[in-house]
Chain A
Amino acid sequence: MSRPGRDDAPDRLYTITGGRSSTGPDSPFDLVTLVVAESEPAAGMQSEHAAILRLAEFPTSVVEIAAELKLPVSITKVLLGDLQAAGRVSARHPYRPAITDPDILEQVLVGLRNL
């Protein structure tokens, strides 16, 4: 069994993100933000960045990317921030406040009933 991050040397994670361990509470990325690649992986690109671009060929949530990369969510968000700043990914953001709109809740209900 391998859980991402837990048994990794902190130095490895430090290297991946250049020392940044967290994007803090203001991160635009939520667990369920859907990320879409806007470019192909390029030669010489950091391997984690390239892996994200391959994963996000179709919309892929932040938490799925973290699980596939076997990295903690916070580290994944740092990497995604880099890619977004470089214009290599776009983000489809979820509703951040509590969901209270009956129309949206009805859409969820319809989807669940149709399962």
Chain B
Amino acid sequence: MDSATSDARTPLGASADNGFKIVVVGGFGVGKTTLVRSVSEIRPLNTEETMTQAGEAVDDIREVRGKSATTVAFDFGRITLDARNVLYLFGAPGQERFWFLWDRLFSGTLGAVVLVDTRRIGDSWYAIDRLEKHGTPFIVACNHFGGPVHTPQDVRHALDLDPHVPLVDCDARSRESGKQVLITLVQHVKNRYAGPSAPADLPRQEFV
């Protein structure tokens, strides 16, 4: 796994004061790290978070050894938006133990991208279900892997996707394509909350 060394660090400007999070969720090998790398201004870094299954009550690391610890590793990249705002893009696995840590890691996230390999659509069902339950705004992006082309209708149907959730094609290797995915997500989030037409019963992120 390559990761930037301290020598290669690119510091933020001194005026940076506000960080945003966007999470890219998807199954193994779907291209999360590729997407993060294609839009990030730093080489993706890797870190992890650990929590015991017993949760907050067990707060001493000596307990970890004897219990099943939940450990989630994730990649991230960074995009400086302007002099004050900086966006962090997290690539995270969609498996069950990851969702156990969602609130701790990703509360207040701007939104999520579910990255889908159309040859393995079933890998995405769980992530979509959890994002809906959390009330986190998200879009679905289908990464190109060649092979048969599926119509958007087919993919929507296979994912049982709400008609209001944007569905886009992308090439995770392409910076321009990755950028368009992020723009689609943020525009979707903005539309969802903007204006008097925003339905009052829309689920909101309630975790803080």
On A, residues with C-beta under 8 Å from B are: 1, 3-6, 10, 13-14, 17, 19-22, 24-25, 30-34, 55, 57-61, 63-64, 66-68, 70, 72-74, 92, 94-102, 105-113, 115
The residue on A at minimum CB distance from B39 is A115
Determine if A108 and B193 form an interchain contact, defined as CB atoms under 8 angstroms apart.
no
Known: A10-B61, A61-B88, A112-B79. A92 touches B18 (CB 8 A): yes
Count of A-B residue pairs with CB < 8 Å = 180
Determine if A73 and B105 form an interchain contact, defined as CB atoms under 8 angstroms apart.
yes
Residues in B neighbouring A106, C-beta threshold 8 A: 190
Residues in A neighbouring B104, C-beta threshold 8 A: 25
Known: A66-B47, A109-B186. A13 touches B61 (CB 8 A): yes
Determine if B48 and A6 form an interchain contact, defined as CB atoms under 8 angstroms apart.
yes
Residues in B neighbouring A109, C-beta threshold 8 A: 183, 186-187, 190
Which residues from 175 to 199 on chain B have a C-beta closer than 8 Å to any C-beta of chain A? 175, 179, 182-183, 186-187, 189-190, 193-194
Determine if B56 and A25 form an interchain contact, defined as CB atoms under 8 angstroms apart.
yes
Which residues from 127 to 163 on chain B have a C-beta closer than 8 Å to any C-beta of chain A? 135
Determine if A21 and B61 form an interchain contact, defined as CB atoms under 8 angstroms apart.
yes
> Which range holds the interface residue count of chain B?
35 or more
Known: A59-B12, A67-B3, A109-B183. 7 other contacts (CB 8 A): A19-B62, A34-B16, A63-B88, A67-B76, A108-B20, A108-B81, A111-B80
Query: What are 29 contact pairs spanning A and B, CB under 8 A?
Result: A4-B46, A5-B71, A10-B61, A21-B59, A25-B103, A30-B108, A31-B19, A31-B88, A32-B19, A32-B20, A32-B88, A34-B16, A34-B86, A57-B11, A58-B13, A59-B11, A59-B16, A67-B3, A72-B48, A73-B105, A92-B19, A99-B189, A100-B204, A107-B85, A108-B186, A111-B87, A112-B179, A112-B182, A113-B183
